[in-house]
Amino acid sequence: LKSVTHIREFCAIADKHCDGHMRFTNRNTIEFMVDDNCKVDRLIMDLEGRKLDGASFKFRIGGTGAAVTNIIHTKAWIHCHTRATDASGPVKATMDELFADFQNHRLAAKLRVSLACCLYMCGAVQ
């Protein structure tokens, strides 16, 4: 889930650095698309400079190549009446542990992590 304000921020970043070009992957990752390598460093500096109130990264950079991709999970607290758990907490804790592997290409291959709140897996995390 993203707020309108957050999506507008994505669009402003894309307008500033990528001539408005960005996309969302099927794992809900934002990809900013540039047409020149010299734009990449400025984009990365801008993204790394944006922090949340607790000084953590607002935009994580990584998830490509031999790394951990963005964790996909269901959001049962929004709609489900029979959930076994809410995935948001465990996913946050897991990604905190795997964050270094999200940023670096040191794994043998791409690693995808998913979490469903129950056996129905309505979030299509299989």
Cβ distance 42 to 48 under 8 Å? no
With 60 as the cut, is the pLDDT of residue 125 above it?
no
Q: Where are the domains of the chain?
A: 1-55, 62-126
| CATH (residue range 1-55) | 3.30.70.3340
Cβ distance 46 to 16 under 8 Å? yes
Query: Can you tell me the distance from the alpha carbon of 115 to that of 102, in angstroms, rounded to the nearest whole number?
Result: 17
Q: Is the pTM of this model over 0.85?
A: no
Q: What is the pLDDT of residues 38-66, one digit of tens each?
A: 999 999 999 999 888 887 778 888 877 77
Query: Can you tell me the distance from the alpha carbon of 126 to that of 59, in angstroms, rounded to the nearest whole number?
Result: 26
Query: Can you tell me the distance from the alpha carbon of 39 to that of 120, in angstroms, rounded to the nearest whole number?
Result: 43
